[in-house]
Every structure is written in structure tokens, then in C-alpha cells.
Amino acid sequence: MSGGREAGRQVRLGICGLGRAFMLMLPTFRRDARFRLVAAATPGEAGRARFVRDFGGRAYATMAELCADPEVEAIYVASPHQFHAEQVAQAAAAGKHLLVEKPLAVSLEDGKAMVAAAETAGIHLIVGPSHSFDRPVLEARALIDSGAVGRVRMIQALNYTDFLYRPRRPEELVTAEGGGVVFSQAVHQIDVVRLLGGGLVRSVRAMTGDWDPERPTEGAYALLLDFEDGAFASLTYSGYARFDSDELMGWFGELGSRKSPAGYGRARRALRGLASAAEEAALKRTRTYGGSGGGGAGDREPPLPAAHEHFGFLLASCEKADLRPLPDRLLVYGDEAIEERPIPAPEVPRREVMDELWAAVVEDRAPLHSGAWGLASLEVCHGILRSAAERREIMMTLQVPYRGE
């Protein structure tokens, strides 16, 4: 952080898209005084009206109008995956720094174009938030960087959720349009594992599951990553809403709040009474900013999460210890004892994401989660789909190393 040199400095932030992703970042924007929301772009009139009412500033119908706003320094792109490439090109041409929701894009060609556009314009492009920003994961990486536990040799990552049965728009169930668990969920797990494993994935071998004809896209996967230095990782994910791996995380939910096992089956039950895809899309809209579900800055302030976010069970086996990040602590399994390192609950949710954006905009510091990093994780996502379809190992060519803090 820059300390007193930038006392009182606020980054003037624009928002592109006021949907579910923005709703999940809203508690962060409310609490991080280093940033001020000054403008937004969204096609929905209700969302625009609510933004102006809650935050002041201006609200536009298009990204082009947002990019033309001279007060905006940086833009958070929280729109659906398929729009990222065009919107990043517009913002880069206007000289705006960018925080782009994961995944970077759907196609590798679009991802490469986005990275090139940012480099040509001389602006910083950050891809996130992903769960590799989570404080417990960063604490594990810092311990690895210290040399105290030796090199990472093996990683296991496991997550079972209800992802596929949360309300979806039709395209979110079409793989070619970025739907399913690979583009929306695997990228989290891949980011975490690449960060701990050093970034340079050599190859991918994977299988995927598509088991519900009413949700015709990948709902599960398992894969093996081979790293250039000989380390390897196994990653498993299911979004079929049965076993809940939060059971292995002390019943902390993904966002760090306490979770009750009594909610089992809630996602499937919520969909059961819907008669059409249009009704399901309408249900999803209630969870967006300006929808009937609320969520504006004028609503009652939600409580801070009890712990940090997570993405399921994670174990990194190093030469001298095994590391297990949990939402509220890091467990270090040594040769003769288990060390427990408590991690205080966050005062600002997802502050680590905003730290990286602040450093990029204010200090011109190259981000860890750069466009090139996001492109490398997207390449692994495509590797999953290709490997499963062709039943063979897929070699990687776009990987970049973990750069360190």
C-alpha cells in the first residue's frame, strides 16, 4: 500500500453490468473507502435508476457511453462472459484500467485480443475476482515463497456445490456460450492451483460429466495437471447439488458466511415450480441489482462474513509440510506437529482484489492476476473440454509463471 503519499486518494470506478457479479462485489465497494463508484452502464432502466439513487454519478445504457465519461479512471466489467472482449477493447481504447470478471473470455482468440489491446493501450488489465485472491490461499503461497516448507510437489482440490441448479439464463446452459461449470467454476480452481503450483501447467488430462438432459452442459469434471517442474495436481468439481463439500470446510459457505446443513436441496426445490426457461431467467433477475431481490446501497447493511471466502477442500503437499487453507486459518502439517495459523475475519470482503486494482491504478504496479495470467487459466479450461472430448493429454502453450508479490 502507498500509505501517506496517497492519503485521501480515491479511484473513480465505473461499473459495466449490474447483475449477479456486481451484487457479490457490492459489499466490497460499500466498505473500501479507496474507491468511489461514479458511473455505471447497464441495459436495464431499473438498475440505472437505482445506481443513480444509491451512488449519485451517472448511469448509461451502453459501454461506449461509460468509456466516454472523463471522470472514470477504471472500469469493473461484470457483464456476461460473451461480452468481455468487445467491452475490454472499448475501455482500453479509451485509456481506462480494467478489472474483468473471470473468465477472461470464452474463446482463446478473444482472450488473446484482450491482452493485446491492454498492452497496446498501456493500461492494466486484472482478471478477477477468482478464489486465488482469497487470503488463506495467499497465506499458503507466502509460506511457500519463504522457503520454509520447500517446493510444492502435489496439490489436491475438491469442490461439490449446487452450481448447476441455481437460476440460469438460457446461454448459461450452453457450453459454446460460456455456460456450464468449466468456464464459470473450473477457472476458480485452476487459478488457485496454478498460483500454488507456480503457474506453468505443462499438460491437462481430464474427463467431464454431462448427466442431466434438462441442464445440457458440463456439470462436473475431474482433471490432472502436470506442471513444468514436475509437480502435479488433481482437481475435482461437481455442481449437481447433492454432496456439499462445505461439510469439509467447517460449514463455512463459499463467501465466508456460516451455513446451515438444513438448507440441503434448496436449489433444486426452487427450480421445481418453474414452467419455462423464461421463468427461470426472471427468477435470476430478482438476484441482480435493481431486481425485486433488492441489494442496493440503501438496503440494510449485510453483516460482515465470519471468515474468508474459499473454493472447497484444498491440500498442497510440499517437500517439508502439507498446507491446508481453511476460511479462518491455515493448517501446516509438519513432520512432528500440526501448526495452526489463525487468519482474522476480513474487515473488507475481497479486499485483496481491490488491493491489486489500487496498486495498478495508483502505483502503476503490474498485477499478479494480469490478462496474461487470466489467459493461461482460460487455456486450461479449454484443455479440459478438449481432453474430455478427445480422450487424450492436451499440451499447454500460453502459460505464464507465478510472479510473486
Please report, for the chain, the start and end positions of each structural domain, with discontinuous segments joined by +.
3-131+349-373, 135-300+303-348+379-395
- pLDDT for 298: 46
pLDDT at residue 290, as a whole number:
72
Cα–Cα distance measured from residue 242 to residue 249, given in angstroms and rounded to the nearest whole number: 16
- As a whole number of angstroms, the distance between CA 321 and CA 129 comes to 28
User: Which CATH code, of 3.90.226.10, 3.40.50.720, 3.30.110.30, 3.40.800.20, is assigned to 3-131+349-373?
Assistant: 3.40.50.720
pLDDT at 133: 98
Angle formed by the axes of helices 20-31 and 351-363, nearest 10°: 70
Asked whether the domain spanning 135-300+303-348+379-395 has the same topology as the one spanning 3-131+349-373, the reply is no
Arch. (CATH architecture) of 135-300+303-348+379-395: 2-Layer Sandwich (3.30)
Asked whether 251 and 258 are in contact (CB, 8 A), the reply is: yes
User: How many C-beta atoms lie closer than 10 Å to residue 338's C-beta?
Assistant: 11
Instruction: Give pLDDT < 50 ranges for the chain.
Output: 1-5, 297-299
Determine the pLDDT at residue 287. Answer: 81
By C-alpha distance, which of 304, 308, 351, 361 is closest to 330?
308
Q: What is the pLDDT of residue 222?
A: 98
Return the ∠ at Cα 325 (arms to 321 and 326), rounded to 5°: 140
Is residue 320 a contact partner of residue 150, using CB atoms and an 8 Å limit? yes
